[in-house]
Amino acid sequence: MVNIGFFIIASNLMDKLVIKGGHRLKGCVTASGSKNTSLPIIAATLLVGSGTFRLHHIPDLQDIKTFTQLLHHLGAETTFSENTLLLSTRNVESIQAPYELVKKMRASIYVLGPLLARFGHARVSLPGGCAFGPRPIDLHLMAMEKLGAQISIETGFIDASIPGGKLRGAHIDFPVSSVGATGNALMAAVLAEGTTTITNAAAEPEIETLCQFLIAMGATIRGTGTTELEIEGSDALQAIEFNNVFDRIEAGTLLAAAAITGGEITLNGVDPDQMKAVLKKFQHAGCQVETTANSITLKSPQKLIPTDVTAKPYPAFPTDMQAQWIALMTQAEGTSLITDKIYHERFNHIPELNRLGAHIEILKNKAVVHGPQKLSGTTVMSTDLRASASLVLAGLVAEGTTEVLRVYHLDRGYEQIEVKLNSLGAEIIREKYKEFS
Ligand code: UD1
């Protein structure tokens, strides 16, 4: 009984970040590996039945752990140490991704294409909604059907099989640009018979990196980095060693942290070419931005200039930077308009930012940010990954102490965020707290 009682209390213990605001960030920091490229790359290892993959620069994040757990469940062997993931998928036998794992992370849908292509059958639990609105998977299913799969949805599972035994190359035209659906279509098409063309493919760097990964495995893909992809099916893919790319969203968040505190930082280990839209907006906001082939230096202005932003598919401003931009614009001298054309209702961070003293209104799916507002520390609640990042940014500039609760959202996508920010002069500590529901 005592043990059970202890377990129940312990399971309510969560992490919070306690931020003392008001420190100007200064110094150098290195970007981590990208979470959003790691996930499809790890899924793509399911395509191969022999050998061991060595994946370097994989961030040590909760999402990676959850995804690796899913691969374990399917029968893969994995070892993770110092940002290198060793992965062997030769003993994979299960083709079923259960709800308990899929519900933790929507990106689990990435196993659909590779499992189907390799085993001719896949069962993946339906992922459900998420904190910032409905996130359909119809385009993933449409792509699999075009390639010859038969899909049924029963008892909460997507059941995909191939009546003809093997996927066949096809033309897939996406009505909406989708990173996830493009990734799934690519991973299925590389093992299909014949040629597949994908139009209106997502051109995000995450898809470009997935293409490079698949090509290194032996796939033939033309049009990498564009919205039109052509894939020649192959059956001779192999396990490889691969260096993951930097995380452009973490990089943008760290630059925003410097800018919101009036600071000056250099980010190393980045490719500024992948961040053109974001860097342009920092310049519009008055920041001085200097780049080399693998670094970005940002110097903040005396006063930030209000800057409108519309989040759209790459190469435009990313939706995953929208929340952080709103936090930044609370300190600009005037009104900024922020629109998200990808997830129209992705504004969960706004009520919490307003609790810190921001003045942000939502008008017809636009966030109207009235700056500059003096923020003052209080306790705020994370609701999703990027929303939590925006609260941390606000905490860095707020007067007094800000406590950001439910940091597990942040830990899904930022590797040692407080360690990195503290190395630049921030004052953040991580503490445990009990949450009573
Ligand atoms: C990926 C990223 C996420 C980012 C998003 C948009 C990962 C793990 N996640 O998510 O961080 O915010 O891209 O850049 O890489 N859509 C459909 N039907 C579908 C699929 C998508 O209508 O079957 C719509 C969505 O509702 C959304 C748009 O397409 O409006 C883009 O979504 P998508 O690119 O698929 O997002 P994710 O791949 O889930």
pLDDT in tens, 77-88: 999 999 999 999
Q: Kindly report the protein residue whose alpha carbon is nearest to atom 13 of ligand 1.
A: 179
Hey, which residues does 405 pair with through a beta bridge?
Answer: 381
**What pLDDT is recorded for position 165?**
87
Q: Do the beta carbons of residue 122 and residue 160 sit within 8 Å?
A: yes
**What pLDDT is recorded for position 130?**
63
**What pLDDT is recorded for position 135?**
77
Kindly give the distance from the C-alpha atom of residue 152 to the centroid of ligand 1, in angstroms, as a whole number.
22
**What pLDDT is recorded for position 164?**
82
* Surface-to-core class of residue 350, CB atoms within 10 Å of its CB (0-12 exposed, 13-18 middle, 19+ buried): buried
Tell me the CB-side half-sphere exposure of residue 147, using CA atoms within 13 A.
39
Strand, coil or helix: what is 15?
strand
Q: Do the beta carbons of residue 379 and residue 18 sit within 8 Å?
A: no
**What pLDDT is recorded for position 11?**
59
Tens of pLDDT along the chain (437 residues)?
334 444 444 558 999 999 999 999 999 999 999 999 999 999 999 999 999 999 999 999 999 999 999 999 999 999 999 999 999 999 999 999 999 999 989 899 999 999 999 999 999 999 866 666 677 899 999 999 999 999 999 999 999 999 988 999 999 999 999 999 999 999 999 999 999 999 999 999 999 999 999 999 999 999 999 999 999 999 889 999 999 999 999 999 999 999 999 999 999 999 999 999 999 999 999 999 999 999 999 999 999 999 999 999 999 999 999 999 999 999 999 999 999 999 998 999 999 999 999 999 999 889 999 999 999 999 999 999 999 999 999 999 999 999 999 999 999 999 999 999 999 999 999 999 998 76
For the stretch 165-220, pLDDT in tens is 899 999 999 999 999 999 999 999 999 999 999 999 999 999 999 999 999 999 99
Tell me the CB-side half-sphere exposure of residue 375, using CA atoms within 13 A.
37
Q: Kindly report the three-state secondary structure assignment for every residue of 239-286.
A: CCEEECCECHHHHHHHHHHHHHCCCEEEEECCCHHHHHHHHHHHHHCC
Cβ < 6 Å from ligand 1: which residues?
36, 39, 106-107, 135-140, 176, 178-181, 202, 206, 318-320, 342-343
Q: What angle do CA 255, 259, 260 make, to 5 degrees?
A: 115
Kindly give the distance from the C-alpha atom of residue 180 to the centroid of ligand 1, in angstroms, as a whole number.
6
Q: Kindly report the protein residue whose alpha carbon is nearest to atom 27 of ligand 1.
A: 342
Which pair of tokens denotes residue 61? Answer: 């994040």
Amino acid at 323: A
**What pLDDT is recorded for position 437?**
66
**What pLDDT is recorded for position 1?**
38
What is the C-alpha separation between 224 and 208, in angstroms, rounded? 6
Atom of ligand 1 nearest to the CA of 142: 23
**What pLDDT is recorded for position 235?**
87
* Surface-to-core class of residue 425, CB atoms within 10 Å of its CB (0-12 exposed, 13-18 middle, 19+ buried): middle
Q: Kindly report the protein residue whose alpha carbon is nearest to atom 38 of ligand 1.
A: 180
* Residues marked as catalytic: 130
Residue closest to 406 by CA, chosen among 375, 434, 429: 434
Residue from 132, 151, 153, 179 whose mutation best tests the ligand 1 pocket (most atoms within 8 A of CB): 179
Residues 6+ apart with CB under 8 A from 245: 33, 34, 37, 57, 205, 209, 271, 274
Domains of the chain and any CATH numbers = 8-31+246-436 (3.65.10.10), 35-243 (3.65.10.10)
Q: Do the beta carbons of residue 187 and residue 114 sit within 8 Å?
A: yes
Q: Do the beta carbons of residue 217 and residue 44 sit within 8 Å?
A: yes
Q: Kindly report the protein residue whose alpha carbon is nearest to atom 17 of ligand 1.
A: 136
pTM above 0.85, yes or no: yes
What is the C-alpha separation between 42 and 67, in angstroms, rounded? 8
Atom of ligand 1 nearest to the CA of 204: 14
Q: Kindly report the protein residue whose alpha carbon is nearest to atom 9 of ligand 1.
A: 36
Residue from 137, 144, 176, 178 whose mutation best tests the ligand 1 pocket (most atoms within 8 A of CB): 178
Q: Do the beta carbons of residue 405 and residue 430 sit within 8 Å?
A: no
Kindly give the distance from the C-alpha atom of residue 179 to the centroid of ligand 1, in angstroms, as a whole number.
5
Kindly give the distance from the C-alpha atom of residue 254 to the centroid of ligand 1, in angstroms, as a whole number.
23
Atom of ligand 1 nearest to the CA of 106: 39
